[in-house]
Chains A and B, each alone.
Chain A
Amino acid sequence: MNPTPVSPVTVGIVGAGFISDIYLANLTTRFDNVRVVAVADLAVQRAEARAAKYGLAAMTVDDLFADLGIELVVNLTVPAAHADVAMRAVAAGKSVYNEKPLTATREQGQALLALARDNGVFVGGAPDTFLGGALQTARKLIDDGAIGRPIAVNAIMYTHGHESWHPDPGFYYQPGAGPMFDMGPYYVTALVSLLGPIVRVVSSTGVGLAERIISSEPKFGETIHVNTPTHIVAALDFANGAIATLTTSFDVYDTVHSRLTIHGAEGSLQLPDPNTFGGTVSLLQPAAFLSRRDPLSVGRTPDDRADPNRVAAPRWEDVPLTHGYTDNSRGIGVADLARAIRDGSPARASGELACHVLDVMHATLESSDQNRHIAIASTVDRPDGMPAS
């Protein structure tokens, strides 16, 4: 007997800005369980331009919410509008998938989840890079025991800010942005998806440069007053016992822009920038090195470099990726949410996960001001791994 064919989930896009292009390109070609039917934007011409490019209908936002043929709203509006647009979609009986962050505040996020539960619809949220080939390969390696019990994470996101290239970079330095809300979602989501929920955080935050001078056009030479921490050193306690250190900064010059290392009892994994879908996954497994240890090296220290019996140190080895979606696959979280809508099983890039990540990011900023470790009230199950391709 053939399985009953499953009809694709109909999708309406709200917000036709820059990021809508990659979503539309992917959702109209790569996933056969979604069918995009309409694009809406407060700026009608913008919606029309995108709609024309992808052969879709352009609608007003109100019409899109009123359209009974649309099951899932992909909310690509500016962060300040995320909560309002999503609440309207859910109130209209539609499932919703928000760009990051899910909402501005924790309360908005929780209200959104509650309303969705009441209305029997689904909520999802970006980022979905953790569903890409690199992080899913890492997930499988961890689950298969390649590094043993996970015990630590070293996560670093270093930049010197965005005023040298972004045409209007002021918002990066205001509350709701900063390095934690700008790039933190990728790191924290990746970590929760790999290691599970976070139970406690502590941080030290600061503003390394109180003013920034724009060196890009058209605002060249203008001064930005910095109103949110731009250097954040945090430690995160996971429910599974692992401790992560997470440093995010707009204040430092370095050639290392992203470091994401997961340390286990029996090895370590080095992962690519979690704002990408592919990249290099490297594995350090010292077991082989230790079993080759020469008994003659008794009492010798690793510093005895001239020691002829010294065994070569363990090395990082690149691992072939076991999972697909290694190019820019934004929208894979939408496709997974569509799958969940049809089969009823949990979505991976879920609203609960996005809400937990939001909670962790807020707590991280609060800890330094409140002079204490902060327990994380929310929790979430690790999303399932993706099937290997």
Chain B
Amino acid sequence: MASSPAGKVNVGIVGAGNISDIYLKNLSAMFDNINVVGIADLVVERAQDRAEKFGVGAFSVDELLAHPDVEIVLNLTIPAVHAEIAGKAIANGKSAYNEKPLATNREDGKALLAEASAQGVLVGSAPDTFLGGGLQSARKYLDDGLIGAPVAVSAQMLGHGMESWHPDPSFFFQPGAGPLFDVGVYYVQALASMIGPVARVASMARASFPERIVGNGPKLGEKIAVNTPTHIMSSLEFENGVIGALGASFDVWETTNSTLVIYGSEGTLRLPDPNTFGGPLQLLKGGETKWTDLPLVYGNTENSRGLGVWDMANGIQTGEAVRASGELGYHVLDIMTAVLDSAEQGRHVEVESTVDRPDLLPLA
């Protein structure tokens, strides 16, 4: 039996890369139901470095996955091994929470859900930005009928890729990443959590540039072969009849990088960048010409990565449904995969999976 401090769930982290810093910071300080047991990485020094900084244990990956005290494995590895690491955690009887995406393909994602269900453990997945103050407030206003019945959504993530500033940008242009899986995932998940499941998608997609050139850092001038679509224009048909336009691009020059708008029968909500936790949140009432700022009625407006782990720990303690669940993560993966399939197959693609909208967080 795992031993954990009273009222807390023990979390072990695999993957001590960049993103582990904010998780460690938040899980140690922001959430009162979590105890971080330790961290592991294939590169031992990296794990030791992080462990020292945050006063937690350093382990090998196998040690951590088998550690008797660990109840949730927080999986911050690269997308290609998300399914493998989570699968091992689940086989060891632990719940798993993956960084996005849940897995890189449907089969792996489905297998994780089945294994977790068989083991009686939980599986969850980032992003958890939809649990932040900005998007939870939007969800509350939507559910309260502020804009009437939702009719349409527009989600645009348009930019020119990461190779001008990122020191090692190659992976952004490979399968499993690209603008949809890397950034679009925030938009798709925010929409699925607010509007509900998607039933059918259609798209056109292309890599407008067969290669990119690193514009910064030690690899300056190196060429990157592009192996995944980098300009993806799609439509999402939600089960409730709402039609969404979803554009994700690494190929275009724009100054408006993020647009996320929900159109309702009585008005329109302009949402914040769903890769953030805060605002602004704006309302246009039908027939009016001025947008007004809406107050955020939920907290967690700063970088609160780890909210999903907090929610999973709460689920373990109380039996309540987990919000950033594996089922939601899988549906989002299914939608994104279907979008790429549609462009390739020249037809609309039905999204097989479905999921209930996660509950709103309780108002503080």
Contact = CB atoms under 8 A, between A and B. Distances in A.
B241 A245 contact: no
B204 A237 contact: yes
A172 to B, nearest CB: 17
A154 B205 CA distance: 14
Contacts of B317: none
Interface in B225-244: 231, 233-237, 241, 243-244
B255 A299 contact: no
B90 to A, nearest CB: 34
Contacts of B167: 298-299
Nearest to B237: A204
Interface string A314-332: 1110000000000000000
A245 B202 contact: no
A103 interface: no
Given A203-B235, A206-B237, A253 B286 contact: yes
B254 A263 contact: yes
B291 A298 contact: no
Given A251-B151, A255-B284, A243 B265 contact: no
B348 A206 contact: no
A107 B65 CA distance: 67
Contacts of A251: 151-152, 263
A284 B267 CA distance: 32
A164 to B, nearest CB: 8
Interface in B257-285: 261, 263, 265, 267-268, 284-285
B233 A300 contact: no
B346 interface: yes
B172 to A, nearest CB: 13
Interface string B195-236: 000001011111011000001110000000000000101111
A236 B247 CA distance: 13
Contacts of B203: 202, 235
A279 interface: no
Interface stretch (A88-96, A126-134, A352-360, A365-373): A365-373
Contacts of A208: 151-152, 243, 263, 265
A249 B255 contact: no
Contact of B202 (A164, A202, A244, A284): A202
A343 interface: no
A77 interface: no
B249 interface: yes
B362 interface: no
Which of B252, B289, B348 lies at the interface centre, i.e. has the most chain A CB atoms within 10 A of its CB?
B252
Interface in A222-268: 231, 233-237, 241, 243-245, 247, 249, 251-255, 261, 263-268
B346 A252 contact: no
B95 interface: no
Contacts of A200: 204, 346
B216 A299 contact: yes
A368 to B, nearest CB: 8
A158 B113 CA distance: 41
A245 B247 CA distance: 8
B164 A290 contact: yes
Contacts of B217: 298-299
Nearest to B216: A298
A1 interface: no
Given A205-B243, A247-B245, A373 B346 contact: yes
Given A202-B202, A372-B346, A233 B164 contact: no
Contact of A235 (B234, B244, B290): B234
A367 B342 CA distance: 13
Given A263-B252, A284-B253, A371-B347, A231 B247 contact: no
A203 to B, nearest CB: 7
Contacts of B286: 160, 253
A209 B243 contact: no
Contacts of A266: 253
Contact of A252 (B151, B251, B253, B348): B151
Contacts of B164: 290, 293
A169 interface: no
Which of A204, A205, A315, A371 lies at the interface centre, i.e. has the most chain B CB atoms within 10 A of its CB?
A204
A293 B152 CA distance: 39
B106 interface: no
A315 B255 CA distance: 7
Contact of A254 (B241, B261, B265): B261
Nearest to A229: B243
Contact of A302 (B165, B237, B287, B347): B165
B255 A233 contact: no
A241 B253 CA distance: 17
Contacts of A241: 206, 208
Interface string B143-180: 00000000110101010100011110000000000000
A383 interface: no
A233 B268 contact: no
Interface string B341-358: 010001110000000000
Given A202-B348, A233-B245, A372-B347, A284 B255 contact: yes
A152 interface: yes
A314 B202 contact: no
Nearest to B156: A154
A151 interface: yes
Interface string A266-299: 1110000000000000001010001001000111
Nearest to B229: A243
Contacts of B255: 284, 313-316
B343 to A, nearest CB: 9
Contacts of B252: 151-152, 263, 268
Nearest to B217: A298
Given A251-B151, A253-B268, A372-B346, 6 more contacts: A152-B252, A204-B237, A204-B348, A247-B154, A266-B253, A268-B253
Interface of A: 151-152, 154, 160, 164, 200, 202-206, 208-209, 231, 233-237, 241, 243-245, 247, 249, 251-255, 261, 263-268, 284, 286, 290, 293, 297-302, 313-316, 367-368, 371-373
Interface of B: 151-152, 154, 156, 158, 160, 164-167, 200, 202-206, 208-209, 215-217, 231, 233-237, 241, 243-245, 247, 249, 251-255, 261, 263, 265, 267-268, 284-287, 289-291, 342, 346-348
5 contacts: A200-B204, A208-B243, A244-B233, A286-B253, A372-B347
Q: Which 7 A-B pairs have the closest CB atoms?
A: A204-B235, A208-B151, A263-B252, A252-B263, A233-B235, A235-B204, A245-B233
